Structure 1
Amino acid sequence: MVDIIKYITRQSHKPLILIPVILMILSLLYLGAFGLNEGVDLKGGTMVTVELKQSMTESQITDLVQSNLGVSDVKTSLSGNTATITISGNVDQANFDQKFSNQFNILSFRSVGALLSQAAMDQIVYALLFAFIFMAITVFFVFRDLVPSAAIVLSALCNISIAVGSMSLFGIPLSVASVGALLMLIGYGVDTDILLTTRLLKRHAGDLDDRAEGACRTGITLTFAALASMVVLFVVVKVFIPSAQVLEDISAVLIMGLLSDLLSTWLMNLGILKWHMERGGHN
């Protein structure tokens, strides 16, 4: 770990900047080509929680619902004798109960219409947009230097782009829960970026490489601690609470985002700041 940190902070920083930039471009290209699945909260659909009257697997439940309702987009999460079934499109509760009265007891039945879905999507766009705007204003007010401020915003944008591209790659739907995780990523990513920028620009003890190494040690330790907790949460939910799909999605998005934050902060942002200061910036 120490050798890696010294290499990152003391070797040529320009080639390292390209790594997160290339990953960001690839993520955006993949996202543009394959799109992003929307959760039932956003695209509309039906979520049913049922009690099984007979032992069935997740795939058996999914096949049964698909064949009886004539729909293709069905996801099932099973926990003990309770299953949560997510169906794309609106389904009539009376019709569902009639078709599956021999297999299920309905515990809850929730439909999300297209109007609510559009409103939710608009709120998500506004939330992410205002998060970036106020972040940029706050960072510029603190450092009063355009390059470090732009580097922090670019780093956060790179972080989110890679995380969203990973969501598309691994089939994690865009939902209210995953958007909350993305907003948390913005906050965490800015924290590590400000830690780095403050160490390099505001402190003067030691040379530039020493300050960069100290910031890198602290930041990577914090990120690995957060990453370990998210991995534990993901494993616990996956193994012991498979019905908690919201927690699984949040932890998965945060894991991918924390990994991308390591690259965007300690390769790209660090490289930009060192280049800026070596050229006489922020004197």
Structure 2
Amino acid sequence: MNYNIHFDFVKHRKKFFAFSIILTVLGIVSLLLFGLNRGVDFKAGTTLDITSSQVMDKTRVEQIFKDAGYDISPTVGGTTASARFDKVLTQQEVEKIMEGFHAAYGEDVSREENTVDVELAKELAIKAIYAVLVASIGISIYIGIRFEWRFAVAAIISLLHDAFIIISLFSIFRWEVNLPFVAAVLTIIGYSINDTIIIFDRIRENLRFAKIKSFADLSELVNRSIWQTMTRSINTVVTILFAAVLLFIMGSESIRYFSLAIVLGLAFGAYSSIFIASPLWLLFKTKWPGTAKKIAAAKNEP
């Protein structure tokens, strides 16, 4: 099949590398200065999700919390209100808050209460880090076995790029990080590596029948491989992205940041698979000591 290549991914690789490096540097600075906006899952505190049969007013809800002794800014949407407290509330304190809601919105008001103490918060944070590390190591081993080491290194850099960009964005915009966010990062890692493997598999297949005599030949092969898998990549990301956006718009407040992380992760996962991973492999393939000699030898073959 003849693929009409409209865009040269390899030619513009430095622009994409620069864009990713800028985002990475901004993320590092933000993490060093501000850290992550940890949710109740990763620090001691209580979360109250309150539901009423009536539509809630944000100003009125804030006043209810102020009357109970808490000057906080709750999240209010429709018939639900969500509040995060940096300390563990006692049952008496929770009941005092609920009395205000019952007085304002009637007795048909329910609550969902989640409390995390200090030790549990530390344990959850450590286990979350372990989960991401174990997943990354497992994927590294799999890629290293299935492909040559250059593919594996490029894939892992791309994978870490996606995870770190999402973490950086959550740090920069001060979005809340909780356990669903960790699940989102693991989901992003799985999606990103799947999309990257599809492109790498096509590159490896095309290499079997190609006569590479110059960097231009290898660049053309990478571009052709990306375009050959482009339709599949676009269809996959659009389908999943459509569901993720609907989940973000229509989902409950408790999974709002999970949905947001998935949406951003899908977009950057597709971006890194196409614009980062494959050009990185090309650089490793051509710039590594000894490779240039092999290409030169192939060029001199009759």
TM-score normalised to structure 1 length: 0.83
Query: Cα–Cα, structure 1 residues 95 and 11, in superposed 2: closer, same or farther, change >3 Å?
Result: closer
TM-superposed CA distance for 1:201, in Å, is: 1.7
- The farther-off stretch of 118-127 and 10-19 is 10-19
Structure 2 partner of 1:247: 255
RMSD of Structure 2 on Structure 1 (CA): 2.9
Q: Would you say how many aligned residue pairs link Structure 1 and Structure 2?
A: 272
For 1:133 and 1:66, the matched residues in 2 are separated by 48
TM-superposed CA distance for 1:174, in Å, is: 1.2
- The farther-off stretch of 17-26 and 188-197 is 17-26
Letter in 1 for 2:120: L
Structure 1 partner of 2:74: 75
- The question of whether the paired residues in 1 share the 8 Å contact of 2:61 and 2:74 is answered with no
Structure 1 residues 31-180: aligned runs within 5 Å? 31-50=31-50, 56-72=56-72, 74-80=73-79, 82-98=80-96, 100-104=98-102, 107-143=111-147, 145-180=148-183
Structure 1 residues 1-12: aligned runs within 5 Å? 6-9=6-9, 11-12=11-12
Matched, 1:185 2:188: yes
For 1:175 and 1:251, the matched residues in 2 are separated by 12
For 2:53 and 2:167, the matched residues in 1 are separated by 39
Higher RCO (CA < 8 A, seq sep 6+): 1
- The farther-off stretch of 40-49 and 14-23 is 14-23
Please give the secondary structure, in 2, of the residue aligned with 1:171: coil
Letter in 1 for 2:123: A
- The question of whether the paired residues in 2 share the 8 Å contact of 1:45 and 1:89 is answered with yes
Letter in 1 for 2:74: K
- The question of whether the paired residues in 1 share the 8 Å contact of 2:56 and 2:77 is answered with no
Structure 2 partner of 1:240: none
For 1:51 and 1:273, the matched residues in 2 are separated by 52
For 2:127 and 2:201, the matched residues in 1 are separated by 33
Query: Cα–Cα, structure 1 residues 102 and 15, in superposed 2: closer, same or farther, change >3 Å?
Result: closer
- The farther-off stretch of 125-134 and 271-280 is 271-280
Letter in 1 for 2:126: D
- The question of whether the paired residues in 2 share the 8 Å contact of 1:38 and 1:174 is answered with yes
Letter in 2 for 1:255: V
TM-superposed CA distance for 1:35, in Å, is: 1.6
